[in-house]
A and B are shown apart, each in its own frame.
Chain A
Amino acid sequence: MSERAEQEKQLIEWLSDMREDEAIALANRMLLEEKANPLRVLEVCRMAMDIVGQRFSQGEYFLPELVLAGEMLEKIGAVAKPLIRHSDGPAQRKLARVLIGTVHGDLHDIGKNIVTFMLDINGFEVKDIGVDVPVQTFLEEISGFQPDVVGLSGFLTLAFDSMKETIGAIEAAGARERLKIMIGGGQIDETVRAYAGADAFGRNAVDAVSLCKNWAAAA
């Protein structure tokens, strides 16, 4: 194996094993001292995140690992992104666009962030518009970002009504036909899905990924 390949293997291992200090030091060395292609380094990080995602799906990793993995990725991204030149190669093509946010009145974001993270590492272009998102903001983002899927997150019982209201407004704006809507969050189940008028609900981030994959395949 070449030295670079060896290094990449090491980076994947340290990232996926949550060895933050070693992983960040190595990524920084590759990027800043050895002038490795930043897109390639990010691609290697993505491979590591795949492993993290798999371990999460298999019940080996939980929230602390996903949050830490996300933060490691952010740190490396902050160094790598300014170094990207056009000549480094084309950006990767994404499976589909997903717009996601926590509905108005609700501030819970841990579950949503994990869904965002998992969709992102599974090849979707995800735009996360935060928490307590007013109906109007969803409408504006839908017309700007043109998502294939809209994900609504909510953990409070008051979110059931916010979801219903948001979906109603999307329908009234004439955008409902063009996209799929999935909902999720602690209390969300089939009863709430029917009440809010969503296409599907997901119990966890793995469900969210398979819903989006199925819809992308059908499109």
Chain B
Amino acid sequence: MSAQETGTPASTAPAGGPGYARRWQRIMDCVALRQPDRMPVIMYATFWLAKYAGITCRQLMYEYELTREIAERAIVEFDPEAYNPMVLQSASGRALEAVGFKQLQWPGHGVRDDQPFQYLDREYMKAEEYDEFIFDPTGYYLHTYLPRVAGVFEGFEELPHFPGLHYFRLVGGVRSFAKPRLRQALENVMRAAEEVERYIGHHAAFTERMNSLGYPCTNLATSVSPYDFLADYFRGARGMMTDLYRRKDKVLEALDKAAVFLLRQAVAGAKASRNPIVFIPIHWAPDAFMSDAQFRTFWWPSFRRLMIGLIDADLIPMPLWEADCTKRLEIIRDVPPGKCIYWFERTDMVRAFEVLGDVVALRGNLSPSLMTTGKPAQVDSAVRHLAENVFAKGGRLMLDCAFGIPDETPVENVRAMFDAARKYAG
């Protein structure tokens, strides 16, 4: 297939209002390792929006209309090149409730009204369940995982085991759907789906609105590295770390399997969104977490396969390398040039530029302590440092905070960040 047929990244982006094409082009220039006409600045905000508007985190999560208004106000005020899917990432309270989601606590459900939601690190898949997961991930999801992580699926344990049903057994298998618990669960799921539809509808309407105002969303699809998927959402931090010794082979098998279905899902999601960038927050890659040998064995191979799969599908992986990943830079350099955006949280950006500047676009990384406790003048000089030592030297940098605007950041520091970007880099 030619590039024409598959669509180059720029052409897959939806058309938008005035300024849209220019803003999007700057980002695509960075990805392609071309010099943009100015350093793009990205606005990534989640619960900071509550601080910005003087409302609680709870309101931000529940008052969908209000959240849309606030997000729009922030984007228009700061005029970034692109923004993160703000409504999707914050206004989810009713959807979480409808689904009975157990892996998060959120305002009114375990945390105070002025606190953001938080993920609970638990063992959601037992060590003995690896074989089930590997043999039949779908069956494992239906019968075990889904009811464990979301109340709405309680009752799915009663579903028939589909593989193996045949002939009259297949007809008889339908009988499971007569069980009251399962029937109730199916009704609950349908009801929850309506709420989730509303939630996603708000997000879609917001994205449309921003398009028409000329502001692209950085990404609509997200994915996860196979290792992080297994560590965060299945085994838990502790379980995963000990598995590297106790069940090495099963871990590797599970990662191989996950890499396949995660890729399929990410490609389908990104294609449906018509935005080529796939955001992949990364938890377990940092220097402090595992040795070089463990990283090369357990973490990197399945993730690289996922990234290459995305690139082959004309998508743009945008991993966010959390914490300090300096020691990984040489390894993660091994991707085709001009295809990815690497967002770094605490890795020194100048160092990242030196090692990776000819391979990937960069994003980041004003420090959270600076943003929350520093003065505007300090923010100004941190931006200047990045503009002069990365962007001006040919680094395709999109300025952002380390992981978006920290929730507690004073508004004047955000203003200083945007002003300084224009002052020092066009």
Contact A63 B288 (CB under 8 A): yes
* Chain A positions 188-206 with a Cβ under 8 Å from a chain B Cβ: 188-189, 191-192, 195, 204
Find chain A residues with CB under 8 A from B372 CB.
Answer: 157, 160
Complex CA distance for A67 and B118, rounded to whole angstroms:
23
Q: Are B115 and A62 in contact (CB under 8 A)?
A: no
Q: Does B406 contact A64, Cβ atoms closer than 8 Å?
A: no
Q: Is B390 an interface residue (CB 8 A)?
A: no
The docked-state distance in angstroms from the alpha carbon of A24 to that of B154 is 39
Neighbouring A residues of B406 by C-beta, 8 Å: 157
Question: How distant is A13 from chain B, measured CB to nearest CB, in Å?
Answer: 16
Please state if A191 and B237 are interface contacts (CB–CB under 8 Å).
no
With a 10 A CB-CB cut-off, give which of B118, B120, B288, B346 has the most chain A CB atoms: B288
* Shortest CB distance A93–B (Å): 31
Known: A20-B245, A192-B373. A107 touches B294 (CB 8 A): no
Known A157-B406, A187-B369; contact A63-B290, beta-carbon cutoff 8 A: yes
B176 CB–A CB distance under 8 Å: no
CB-based contact B369/A160 at 8 Å: yes
Tell me the nearest residue of chain B to A188, going by C-beta: B369
Residue of B nearest to A18 (CB): B245
Q: List residues of chain B with CB within 8 A of the CB of A189.
A: 367, 369
Q: Known: A157-B368, A191-B374. Is A110-B237 also a contact (CB below 8 A)?
A: yes
Q: How far is the CB of B312 from chain A (nearest CB, A)?
A: 32
Contact of A158 among B241, B290, B408 (CB under 8 A): B408
- Establish whether residues B288 and A71, one from each chain, have CB atoms under 8 Å apart when the complex forms: no
Q: A165 at the A/B interface (Cβ < 8 Å)? A: no
- Number of residues of chain B lying within 8 A (CB) of chain A: 30
Q: A67-B242, A157-B406, A189-B369 are in contact. Are A60 and B291 (CB under 8 A)?
A: yes
Any chain A CB within 8 A of the CB of B323? yes
- The reply to whether B290 and A62 contact each other, CB–CB distance below 8 Å, is yes
Q: Is the CB of A68 within 8 A of B245?
A: yes
**A160 and B289 contact, CB distance less than 8 A:** no
Q: Within 8 Å CB of B368, what residues of A?
A: 157, 187
User: Are A67 and B407 in contact, CB atoms less than 8 angstroms apart?
Assistant: no
Bound Cα distance A195, B422 (Å): 30
Contact A67 B288 (CB under 8 A): no
B121 at the interface (CB under 8 A from A): yes
State which of B111, B118, B294, B407 has its C-beta within 8 Å of the C-beta of A64: B294
Q: Do A20 and B246 touch across chains, with their CB atoms under 8 A apart?
A: yes
Q: Is A168 an interface residue (CB 8 A)?
A: no
Contact A157 B407 (CB under 8 A): yes
| B218-259 vs A, Cβ < 8 Å mask (1 yes, 0 no) | 000000000000000000011001101110000000000000
Known contacts A64-B244, A105-B115; decide if A186 and B323 are in contact (CB<8 Å).
yes
B373 touches A64 (CB 8 A): no
Are A107's CB and B407's CB within 8 A?
Answer: no
**Does A191 lie within 8 Å of B288, measured CB to CB?**
no
How far, in whole Å, are A107 and B117 apart by their CA atoms in the complex?
12
Count residues of A near B (Cβ-Cβ below 8 Å): 25
Q: Which residues does chain A contribute within 8 Å of B200, judged by CB atoms?
A: none
Q: Which of B118, B238, B373 contacts A107 (CB 8 A)?
A: B118
B350 interfacial by beta-carbon distance below 8 Å: no
Q: Are B290 and A64 in contact (CB under 8 A)?
A: yes
Bound-state Cα–Cα, A59 to B404, Å: 30
Given known pairs A67-B238, A67-B241, the reply for A62 and B291 (CB within 8 Å) is yes
What residue of chain A has the Cβ atom nearest to residue B291's Cβ? Answer: A62
CB proximity to B under 8 Å, residues A64-92:
64, 67-68, 71
CB interface residues, A 26-84, toward B, < 8 Å: 60-64, 67-68, 71
CA distance A110 to B346 in the complex (A): 18
- CB B273 to nearest CB in A, in angstroms, measures 30
Q: Within 8 Å CB of B323, what residues of A?
A: 186
Q: A20-B245, A62-B290, A64-B244 are in contact. Are A107 and B369 (CB under 8 A)?
A: no
- Is B370 part of the binding interface, using a Cβ–Cβ cutoff of 8 Å? yes
Say whether A161 faces chain B, with CB atoms less than 8 Å apart: yes
Contact at B242–A71, with CB atoms within 8 Å? Answer: yes
Residues of B within 8 A of A68 (CB): 241-242, 245
Q: Which residues of B contact A161 (CB under 8 A)?
A: 408
Q: Are A158 and B407 in contact (CB under 8 A)?
A: yes
With A and B bound together, what is the CA distance between A62 and B374 in angstroms? 32
- Rounded to whole Å, the gap between the CB of B396 and the closest CB of chain A is 26
Convert A91-131 into 0s and 1s, putting 1 for each residue whose CB lies closer than 8 angstroms to a CB of B.
00000000000000101001000000000000000000000
Query: From B409, which residue of chain A is reached at the shortest CB distance?
Result: A157
**B419–chain A nearest beta-carbon distance, Å:** 21
Cβ–Cβ contact B115 & A195, under 8 A: no
A63-B289 CB under 8 A given contacts A158-B115, A187-B368: yes
Whether A62 lies near B288 (C-beta < 8 A) is: yes
- In the assembly, what is the distance between CA of A165 and CA of B300, in Å? 41
Q: Smallest CB–CB gap between B348 and chain A, Å?
A: 14
**Could you tell me the distance in whole angstroms from the C-beta of B326 to the nearest C-beta in chain A?**
13
Q: B370 to nearest A CB, angstroms?
A: 7
Closest to A161 in B: B408
A162-198 vs B, CB cutoff 8 Å, 1 = contact: the mask equals 0000000000000000000000001111011001000
CA distance A159 to B15 in the complex (A): 42
A-chain residues with CB within 8 Å of residue B288 when the two chains form the complex: 62-63, 204
Interface set of B (CB-CB < 8 Å, partner A): 111, 115-116, 118, 120-121, 237-238, 241-242, 244-246, 288-291, 294, 323, 346, 367-370, 372-374, 406-408
List the 6 shortest-distance A-B pairs measured between CB atoms, nearest first: A64-B241, A157-B406, A67-B241, A191-B369, A64-B244, A62-B290
24 sample A-B contacts, Cβ–Cβ < 8 Å, listed by A number: A18-B245, A20-B246, A60-B291, A64-B241, A64-B290, A64-B294, A67-B238, A68-B242, A71-B242, A105-B115, A107-B120, A110-B237, A157-B369, A158-B115, A160-B373, A160-B408, A161-B408, A186-B323, A187-B367, A187-B368, A187-B369, A188-B369, A191-B374, A192-B373
